A and B are shown apart, each in its own frame.
Chain A
Amino acid sequence: MVGRLEELLRAAFPDATELSVLDRTGGGDHFHVTVASPRFADLSLLDQHRLVYDALAEPLADGTIHELRMTTRGAP
């Protein structure tokens, strides 16, 4: 599952300078994703998180992700 989320994030943020998905509980449904991308540079936190949500829309909608934490920042 971590791999699938990473794939989705890589596809959405090909220019990411940092990208990681942590399975917080080992149960495959509580995740902490971290993305640093130049795309975030001029965006509010709200808009940064919206982009991550967009990238993960499918696993969010189908219930794969039960809980999501995220840390985003403009590159570097």
Chain B
Amino acid sequence: MNDLKDRIKQTIESEDVVLFMKGTPERVFCGNSARALDALRGVGAPVTAVDVLPDPRIRQELSALSNWPTIPQVFVRGELLGGADIVEELAATGELREKLDAALSDGWSSAPREERVIDLAGRPTRFPLVP
């Protein structure tokens, strides 16, 4: 039984768009995490962010699960979309919006933009980060 792994899995499977990043949307600690976040924000994606920095095991378990060695990692409806380069490229070609259109429920892009943070290291709380 691996509690942390289960929580990572559950987050990936239950949230529409998950960004595993270094830092939080309010305090980003890595250029690539910022690029992925900017690309997602650019299309108005509903981002659920997970900071991997508080506990190194998050990153270990995540990479074992996704078979993707680096952070950030973006998941849409449970599927790995890629890292910063891919998300940025998909945003530039318009494919990011198409993928979200295909994966998310109708009207996602007109819904009020929502950003939140899930703390996998400790508090299982969520709080809105809408600016």
Contacts and interface: CB of A to CB of B under 8 A. Distances in A.
Q: Are chains A and B native binding partners rather than an unrelated pairing? A: yes
Contacts of B80: 46
B32 A67 contact: yes
A70 B87 CA distance: 12
B86 A69 contact: no
Interface in B33-79: 67-70
Interface string A23-65: 0000000000000000000000110011001000100110000
A17 interface: no
A69 B84 CA distance: 8
Given A60-B69, A69-B32, A49 B81 contact: no
Contacts of B84: 69
A8 B35 CA distance: 27
Secondary structure class of chain A's binding surface, majority of residues: helix
Nearest to A56: B69
Nearest to A57: B69
Contact of B70 (A45, A46, A68, A71): A68
A46 B82 contact: yes
A49 B31 contact: no
B83 interface: yes
Nearest to B88: A69
B124 to A, nearest CB: 30
A18 to B, nearest CB: 16
Interface of A: 45-46, 49-50, 53, 57, 60-61, 67-71
The 7 A-B pairs of least Cβ separation, nearest first, read A45-B86, A60-B69, A46-B82, A53-B69, A70-B85, A69-B85, A45-B82
